């Protein structure tokens, strides 16, 4: 495929376009500059945020010039898109902290320092000195209230109410598109399906300011739903974050490897850079050898490498194998901390104690009788080693770096014992 639009179409990545024929013709002969924005509503993106930014990477791979916009200004207001209630306004200090955090994430994900074909911008830079009168005269004058009220993002809020602050959000986002069009020759904005109203508002402003013939385009990406109809990216534990402190690389890997057979090919198309031939081959394997879960494992590996690193992927694989086999003795303390994050955990100062008494003290066994029975029957393992001796004494030699001891009772019941200093 030589045209990026063909690439996006087979990946199922196009929802709406403002001028499909015009865009196809433009990218056939020109390198287009385009942008996508994210507001700093938190100090980390989650995997749902990745969807439009992966599209930017695809445009980049076809020789086009992506811009990533971090909304240091719009983040102080709050986008009403997809919400039924007002956002809680954040302090300027919180917004700036979030801007710094998201900037670091973007720089890591997209190698901004080493790649001069991608530009990172912050809309606070061109809005912070704007006066209220300038805003009303130079921009507000070009927005028709009736048109703004008809936008889905506003119309859906009219019954419950929307503040003037959030009502004007589409003006601010339109100003971004106009600024980048005028100063950076950015011709297209892309975003999620809920951004259609904001994107078309920006196109209207550009044409009112620059003339009806101004070449500018908008494109949205489909809302991603799982096969069961629920929203992609949400789990029982909440969002799947890109920040390893919020979602560890092991948890991140496990999220992808546990995807439904009905969804995995769609996710491979959206999130990886595997070729059509590679994905088609995996689709056949999903149909003929679903038990091997090869498509899921490749999806998980590709995403963990992209968001984290090859080393983090190797850690995730080592943890997964150790938990599956029960052979945890070769794990590092870092891998244990990551892989056992959500396992039952107890803390103790006690060492150099008989195993029977130690298990009772930690609450792993309810009584001496049960503890002796489980040890004798080989149901107790310490760091992967089955212990059958009733006189076994637990010492610091049985710990990982003096930090952890892993107790397994039966086949799958793990307890992480954290050692604390006296």
Helices (H) and strands (E) in the chain, counts: 18, 15
With tokens 């087979």, the residue in question is: 10
Q: Which two tokens stand for residue 37?
A: 């924005």
Q: Is 169 one of the annotated binding-site residues? A: yes
Q: Compute the distance between CA of residue 416 and CA of residue 345 in angstroms, rounded to an integer.
A: 5
Q: Compute the distance between CA of residue 128 and CA of residue 172 in angstroms, rounded to an integer.
A: 12
Q: Compute the distance between CA of residue 126 and CA of residue 73 in angstroms, rounded to an integer.
A: 9
Q: Helix, strand or coil for residue 191?
A: strand
The total of other beta-carbon atoms located within 10 Å of residue 69's CB is: 23
Q: Compute the distance between CA of residue 75 and CA of residue 92 in angstroms, rounded to an integer.
A: 9
The answer to whether the beta carbons of residues 398 and 380 sit under 8 Å apart is no
End-to-end CA distance of the chain: 65
The total of other beta-carbon atoms located within 10 Å of residue 245's CB is: 8
Taking the alpha carbons of 170, 172, 177, 182 in that order, is the dihedral positive or negative?
positive
Q: Is 259 one of the annotated binding-site residues? A: no
Q: Which two tokens stand for residue 96?
A: 């700036």
Q: Is 35 one of the annotated binding-site residues? A: yes
Q: Compute the distance between CA of residue 55 and CA of residue 53 in angstroms, rounded to an integer.
A: 5
Q: Compute the distance between CA of residue 325 and CA of residue 58 in angstroms, rounded to an integer.
A: 39
- Please tell me the number of Cα atoms within 13 Å of 308 on its side-chain side: 26
Q: Compute the distance between CA of residue 232 and CA of residue 303 in angstroms, rounded to an integer.
A: 15
Cα 161 to chain centroid, rounded: 30
Q: Report the DSSP beta bridge partners of residue 65.
A: 33
Q: Compute the distance between CA of residue 30 and CA of residue 52 in angstroms, rounded to an integer.
A: 21
Q: Is 414 one of the annotated binding-site residues? A: no
List binding-site positions. Answer: 35, 169, 173, 234
List binding-site positions for ATP. Answer: 234
List binding-site positions for L-tyrosine. Answer: 35, 169, 173
């Amino acid at each position: 495929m030589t045209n990026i639009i063909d690439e996006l179409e087979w990946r199922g990545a196009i929802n709406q376009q403002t001028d499909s024929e015009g865009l196809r013709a433009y990218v056939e002969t020109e390198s287009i500059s385009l942008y996508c924005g994210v507001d700093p509503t938190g100090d980390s993106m989650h995997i749902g945020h990745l969807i439009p930014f992966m599209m930017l990477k695809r445009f980049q791979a076809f020789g086009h010039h992506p811009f990533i916009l971090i909304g240091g200004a719009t983040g102080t207001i709050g986008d009403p898109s997809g919400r039924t209630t007002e956002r809680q306004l954040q302090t300027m200090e919180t917004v700036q902290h979030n801007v710094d955090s998201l900037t670091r994430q973007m720089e890591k994900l997209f190698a901004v320092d080493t790649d001069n074909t991608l530009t990172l911008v912050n809309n606070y830079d061109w809005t912070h000195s704007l006066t209220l009168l300038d805003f009303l005269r130079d921009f507000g004058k070009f927005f028709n209230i009736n048109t703004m009220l008809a936008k889905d993002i506003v119309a859906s809020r009219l019954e419950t109410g929307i503040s003037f602050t959030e009502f004007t959000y589409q003006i601010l986002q339109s100003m971004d598109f106009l600024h980048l069009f005028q100063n950076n020759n950015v011709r297209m904005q892309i975003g999620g399906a809920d951004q259609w109203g904001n994107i078309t508002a920006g196109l209207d402003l550009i044409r009112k300011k620059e003339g009806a013939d101004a070449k500018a385009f908008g494109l949205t990406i489909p809302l991603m739903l799982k096969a069961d109809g629920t929203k992609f990216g949400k789990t029982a534990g909440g969002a799947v974050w890109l920040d390893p402190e919020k979602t560890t690389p092991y948890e991140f890997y496990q999220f992808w490897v546990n995807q439904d057979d009905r969804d995995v090919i769609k996710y491979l198309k959206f999130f990886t850079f595997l070729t059509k031939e590679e994905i088609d081959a995996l689709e056949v394997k999903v149909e003929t050898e679903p038990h091997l879960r090869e498509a899921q494992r490749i999806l998980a590996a590709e995403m963990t490498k992209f968001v984290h690193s090859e080393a983090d992927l190797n850690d995730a694989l080592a943890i997964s194998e150790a938990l599956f086999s029960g052979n945890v003795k070769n794990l590092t303390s870092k891998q244990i901390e990551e892989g056992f994050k959500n396992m039952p955990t107890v803390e103790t100062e006690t060492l150099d104690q008989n195993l029977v008494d130690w298990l009772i003290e930690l609450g792993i066994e309810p009584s001496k009788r049960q503890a002796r029975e489980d040890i004798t029957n080989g149901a107790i393992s310490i760091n992967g080693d089955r212990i059958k001796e009733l006189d076994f004494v637990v010492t610091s030699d049985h710990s990982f770096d003096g930090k952890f001891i892993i107790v397994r009772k039966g086949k799958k019941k793990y307890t992480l014992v954290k050692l604390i200093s006296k």
